[in-house]
Structure 1
């Protein structure tokens, strides 16, 4: 059954890759609107996350953000054929503007490597492809459950020489090696950590069980931490890349302080374009009191 699902998923990606980007996004937009009407898990989780994180918004504003968020997530799905199947040159041609790349270059020049903090915001595959054309980069990678998709993603992410580090002891060694060599290490830091491997830290004013890996690597290596994301542009346009230097508190040896700084940087990025964040992810699944955040 998984093999059939994998074949279908890959076939859909190749079909989307045949379309112009505006049309592929439109197909994805239809999927997002369907998720709104279906009132399933994605809608439920998105509503809960918006309620947790934007208490100051009116009910109308929250509903509008939920709607636009699911539509943007649909557009992201529509873009994956482009991101994984198109030639690198064609994908890079969709990058309209780059903000603050000098921040990343200056951080690398310090000689301790750079941790590229990349939230699930906009299209992180476009960001990753750009980085792999400009820098020596190793990216932490958690494989999907469908093996055929895993093979495709690995092949496409590594096509320009970037290395993929698994989320295990071997991957941590690869991460340390990259930073000590003065290279870039890419981490998507905003998924809930596995039980026993995280720490609670505030995210939009609510404690979230957060990864220890990025704070620990930053403290141990002294690597600069730079955030980056690829913002989706309207009206059939491509993307803008945005880079920023994270607060130096993220390098603190105090794990709680470092994790708080990590989440604060993710939050700052998200507030720039909140509708393009992956709100359907269960970011607050495990709470301090032992309860579940989405029951």
Structure 2
């Protein structure tokens, strides 16, 4: 009887897990470095990625041209290059946000603004758009407030990375992660029980359940999750902006929105985008431009990202 031969092909899952563990060890090592060193590394790697990541560079330039059509090509290119730098710096910052001591994190993240908007009891939906410092914002809130927080979570493909991200987002305070595939009922029940929902509803998630509303004057497929949850969860809406600074981050809590939602999902979603535009105007390079924000087009319109 012949002996079955073992396959000599590498196991891609084992390779992926090995590379993930290596990446996690590297990120954890960054927690011990001075912030200036981490930011310097992010500056260098950000410029390198801007040169090498042609596809993402094209997406970011296309988004910028659509949203800021009055700017010249040179202005657009400088802004996109700076975006790659702060994007990379913020990603490396997760090493110390999730791996350094609580004292270090508190010393580098400053929470300002209308803190009473989150201190009051009752349901609150936190509008936390995709600025590069979004994880610093989550850490700041869970450190500062004793209330329970809930956030949607997208599982990472790599097991080691997934475990690291989960542990990081659960590190401080009382936080509960809900998988994105779970029903809205879970979020509604959480809001009605008084939990604060950290929500990032400003991405193009495809045509399903989306409405087309203006984003910098361009029709953008946007899910009406924020007004829907605010209405069903009987929650007030509070915006939180997380800004990367030389000292770390400044996280600003804005006053609760008045007369929102109105019950008109499309109009309320348009209002959300208008408020987001105002927030982006204060630090445009720190918004998440490498995402295809205009991937889904209205019927009959051509794709915008063709090269």
- Say whether the fold is shared (TM-score over 0.5): yes
> Distance in 2 between the 1:176 and 1:48 partners?
36
Deviates more, 1:6-15 or 1:41-50: 6-15
Query: Which residue of structure 2 aligns with residue 98 of structure 1?
Result: 112
Normalising by structure 1, report the TM-score. Answer: 0.90
> Distance in 1 between the 2:156 and 2:204 partners?
16
Where does 1:115-194 land on structure 2 (aligned, <5 Å)?
A: 115-133=125-143, 134=145, 135-159=147-171, 160-170=173-183, 172-194=184-206
SS in 2 for 1:230: strand
Does residue 292 in structure 1 map to residue 303 in structure 2?
yes
- The structure with more radius of gyration: 2
SS in 2 for 1:169: coil
Query: Which residue of structure 2 aligns with residue 273 of structure 1?
Result: 283
| 8 Å Cα contact 1:139/1:162 also seen in 2 | yes
> Distance in 2 between the 1:62 and 1:25 partners?
23
- Stretches of structure 1 that go unaligned for 5 or more consecutive residues are none
| 8 Å Cα contact 1:250/1:257 also seen in 2 | no
- Stretches of structure 2 that go unaligned for 5 or more consecutive residues are 1-14
Does residue 28 in structure 1 map to residue 42 in structure 2?
yes
> Distance in 2 between the 1:80 and 1:122 partners?
11
> Distance in 1 between the 2:139 and 2:182 partners?
25
Query: Which residue of structure 2 aligns with residue 66 of structure 1?
Result: 80
Deviations 1:212-252 (A, max 9, x none): 32221112233111111221113xx1221112236446412
Q: 1:116 Cα deviation (Å)?
A: 0.5
Q: 1:70 Cα deviation (Å)?
A: 1.2
> Distance in 2 between the 1:39 and 1:168 partners?
30
SS in 1 for 2:272: helix
Q: 1:81 Cα deviation (Å)?
A: 0.4
> Distance in 2 between the 1:254 and 1:274 partners?
29
| 8 Å Cα contact 1:222/1:251 also seen in 2 | no
SS in 2 for 1:162: strand
> Distance in 2 between the 1:125 and 1:217 partners?
22
Does residue 206 in structure 1 map to residue 215 in structure 2?
no
| 8 Å Cα contact 1:88/1:129 also seen in 2 | no
SS in 1 for 2:174: coil
Where does 1:18-57 land on structure 2 (aligned, <5 Å)?
A: 18-38=32-52, 40-57=54-71
Deviations 1:100-141 (A, max 9, x none): 223333xx44x3x11111111141111111211213111111
Query: Which residue of structure 2 aligns with residue 223 of structure 1?
Result: 235
Alignment size in residue pairs: 288
> Distance in 1 between the 2:103 and 2:189 partners?
29
| 8 Å Cα contact 2:83/2:286 also seen in 1 | yes
Structure with the bigger percentage of helix? 1
| 8 Å Cα contact 2:125/2:198 also seen in 1 | yes
